């Protein structure tokens, strides 16, 4: 038999346990998922995205978290730049980890595949890198895919305008990776050329694992290309540059931002610096108060970052940082982690003073991309440093 005192203590313990359960639930972390390339030639970009997210998450947690004090936890998976592996990773994060928002990574084919799943399962997707137009303009209603990054159809207009302004291009040739990202840009570049009444020297494709692109480049040279418009990630883009060196053809190269994703200058060699590519942000030059704070936090958290030279690729950090803060605001506006409520929370964001810019009503049911062509800058490699091109804004 229990004594009266033991019974009283038992009652108190049970009562305290009952009160502790809601508190424990309230303290559960809000999981944010990331599927990106964390290995291979583009691993540097995957790490940059991770760092941008982590610094933003640290700021949010330090200011009290979300939804009454719940901390944010980042859960990552490596997609190895493979759509099938990306979807498998996304399924795990959605079904097992129960992530509130799923961040995609570098490659358009991977992101397009993941977005289908996100729309199906009504989980908000946020893209901090992959630029394929179809990622956000995917035909779904409702559409759960958002992005803080470049957009192919806008970049394509910018590439052509930059080639004309900087290199006096009159007959550009297209050299594009043979996948969904290349197809997206072929459409965008063709439309941009047609809008300006410019005749292309042709469009050539190469495979992601090609080590010799001389035949394709030779056809463009014979067709009279005076500038090359390049679309390809780190390794493939480096092979294009090395093939140009083998030909001795010193044609200007205006590129999408694929080369910024990893060891491009190492793989392409000295001619890497001849490639001018688009970016959404640079840590060089005078920074805003937000930029100065982010640089301080990066230096404090990551010992390998001694200065802005070491924050590379900058777009991975900057896009992910702003995207995470915008996602947090959407969750706060929603007041819950319900996927559809968070989706609508993105539309209710009024203003956010970010790293890349001050966002004013960045999302609407019709527009799921927070950045425009006015937010792009142009850059090049100087050794391993990504530097802005003077006058290239």
**Is residue 7 classed as helix, strand or coil in its secondary structure?**
helix
Peptide bond into 313 cis (omega under 30): yes
Q: What is the pLDDT of residues 192-214, one digit of tens each?
A: 999 999 999 999 999 989 999 99
Is the pTM for the entire model greater than 0.85?
no
Report the C-alpha gap between 297 and 127 in whole angstroms. 23
Return the CATH number at 101.
3.40.50.2300
Regarding whether 291 and 200 lie in a shared domain, the answer is no
- From 279, 312, 341, the end of a domain falls on 279
CA distance linking residue 168 with residue 175, whole number of Å? 18
d(CA 69, CA 60): 10
Angstrom distance (rounded) from CA 184 to CA 59: 36
Residues 31/278, Cβ–Cβ less than 8 Å: no
Same domain, 235 and 319: no
**Bridge pairing between strands 172-177 and 227-231:** parallel
Alpha carbon distance 38, 216 (integer Å): 31
- What pLDDT, in 10s, does the model give residues 325-346? 999 999 999 999 999 999 999 9
- 270 and 178 in a single domain? The answer is yes
Cα–Cα distance, 210 to 229 (Å, whole number): 18
Do 269 and 299 lie in a common domain?
no
Q: Which of 223, 247, 279 is the last residue of a domain?
A: 279
Strand order of the β-sheet with 172-177 is 202-206, 172-177, 227-231, 253-255, 275-279, 377-382, 385-388
Any domain includes 1: no
Q: How many domains does the chain have?
A: 2
Tell me whether residue 131 is in a domain: yes
* 275 shares a domain with 291: no
Residues 265 and 299 in one domain: no
Q: Which range among 4-8, 238-242, 251-255 shows the weakest confidence by mean pLDDT?
A: 4-8
Distance CA 2, CA 266 (A): 76
Q: Is residue 16 part of a domain?
A: no
Q: 22-41 pLDDT, tens per residue?
A: 444 447 999 999 999 999 87
Domain presence at residue 323? yes
297 and 264 in a common domain: no
> Is 74 in the same domain as 158?
no
DSSP H or E stretch at residue 275: strand 275-279
Longest dimension (CA), the chain: 99
Domain-located, residue 25: no
Rounded CA separation 370/348 (Å): 13
192 is in which domain, residue-wise? 153-279
Instruction: Indicate the residue among 279, 313, 334 that finishes a domain.
Output: 279
């Amino acid at each position: 038999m229990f004594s009266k005192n033991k019974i009283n203590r038992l009652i108190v313990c049970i009562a305290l346990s009952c009160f502790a359960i809601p508190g424990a639930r309230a303290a559960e972390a809000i999981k944010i998922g990331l599927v990106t390339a964390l290995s291979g030639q583009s691993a540097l970009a995957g790490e940059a995205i991770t760092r941008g997210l982590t610094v933003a998450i640290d700021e949010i947690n330090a200011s009290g978290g979300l939804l009454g004090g719940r901390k944010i936890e980042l859960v990552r998976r490596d997609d190895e730049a493979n759509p099938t592996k990306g979807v498998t990773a996304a399924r795990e994060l959605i079904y097992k980890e129960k992530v509130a928002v799923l961040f995609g990574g570098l490659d358009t084919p991977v992101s397009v595949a993941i977005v289908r799943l996100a729309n199906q399962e009504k989980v908000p997707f946020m893209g901090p890198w992959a630029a394929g137009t179809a990622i956000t303009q995917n035909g779904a209603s409702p559409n759960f895919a958002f992005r803080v990054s470049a957009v192919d159809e806008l970049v394509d207009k910018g590439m052509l305008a930059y080639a004309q302004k900087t290199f006096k291009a009159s007959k550009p040739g297209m050299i594009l990776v043979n996948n969904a990202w290349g197809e997206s840009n072929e459409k965008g570049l063709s439309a941009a050329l047609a809008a300006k009444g410019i005749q292309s020297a042709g469009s050539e494709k190469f495979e992601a694992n090609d080590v010799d692109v001389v035949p394709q480049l030779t056809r463009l040279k014979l067709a009279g290309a005076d500038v090359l418009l390049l679309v390809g990630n780190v390794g493939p883009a480096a092979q294009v540059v090395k093939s140009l060196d083998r030909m001795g053809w010193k044609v200007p190269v205006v590129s999408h931002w694929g080369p910024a994703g990893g060891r491009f200058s190492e793989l392409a060699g000295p001619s890497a610096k001849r490639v001018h590519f688009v970016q959404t942000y640079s840590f060089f030059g005078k920074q805003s108060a937000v930029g100065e704070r982010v640089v301080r936090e990066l230096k404090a958290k990551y010992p390998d970052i001694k200065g802005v030279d070491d924050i590379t690729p900058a777009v991975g950090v900057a896009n992910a940082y702003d995207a995470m803060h915008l996602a947090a605001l959407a969750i706060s506006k929603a007041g819950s982690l319900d996927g559809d409520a968070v989706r609508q929370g993105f539309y209710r964001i009024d203003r956010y003073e970010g790293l890349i810019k001050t966002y004013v009503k960045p999302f609407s049911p019709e527009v799921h991309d927070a950045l425009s062509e006015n937010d792009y800058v142009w850059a090049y490699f100087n050794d391993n440093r990504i530097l802005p091109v003077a006058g290239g804004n």
